[in-house]
Amino acid sequence: MSRRSNKKREFPKPDPVYNSFLVSLFTSKILKNGKKTLATRIIEETFSIIQQRTSEEPLKIFERAVKNVCPSLQVKAKRVGGSTYQVPKEVNKFKGINLALCWIIRFARNRSGPTIAIKLANEIIEASKGSGNSIRKKEETHRMAKSNKAFAHFRS
């Protein structure tokens, strides 16, 4: 048995502007080189662009986008004997949200556009509608998990 004590996970505090736990996680994911004020400014610009384009509340669109992108299954490599199997595993809620935010940011950075705020806004709007690269990544992950269902008995 491990001698290490299980430390309770500390969740970040809600965002001061939007009072949302999800936005504070998003801010920490966008963060580069510790520039948190720049990350919050990018999010504010992104939400204002979403507000202009959709004329809906941007926080609701953002939450819908994260919910649409959040995966429920993923595959993990497991070495059994001499071979490696892709074993499907269920993803807990917190890990799923983190994966969704990472995918949204990654595919927004790969988009073409003048600023990161515009790219993020486009990706979030598409994800909330159920299309876009981040949705495709979720579907691909689920497809991989379903095709490797035969190795589910290796789960530990």
The span from the CA of 44 to the CA of 127, in Å, is 18
Who's near 29: CB < 8 A, 6+ residues apart? Answer: 98, 101, 102, 105
Q: Is residue 98 part of a domain?
A: yes
For residue 25, the one-letter residue type is L
Q: Residue 28 falls within a domain, yes or no?
A: yes
The answer to whether residue 9 is domain-embedded is: no
Asked whether residue 39 is assigned to any structural domain, the reply reads yes
Q: Please tell me the predicted confidence (pLDDT) of residue 99.
A: 94
Is 8 a member of any domain? no
According to the model, what pLDDT value does residue 78 have? 83
User: How is residue 118 written in tokens?
Assistant: 């515009």
Residue 152 per-residue DSSP state: G
**Closest-CA residue to 128 (of 29, 46, 72):** 46
What's the pLDDT score for residue 83? Answer: 85
Full residue range of the structural domain in which residue 80 is found = 21-154
Q: CATH no. for residue 127?
A: 1.10.455.10
Q: pLDDT at position 156, please?
A: 64
Query: Does the residue 1 lie in any domain?
Result: no
With CA atoms as reference, report the closest residue to 84 among 10, 31, 6, 151.
151
Domain count, the chain: 1
Report yes or no on 89 lying in a domain: yes
Q: Is residue 5 part of a domain?
A: no
> Average pLDDT of each block of 10 consecutive residues along the chain (156 residues)?
76 86 92 91 95 93 95 87 85 92 94 93 94 93 85 72
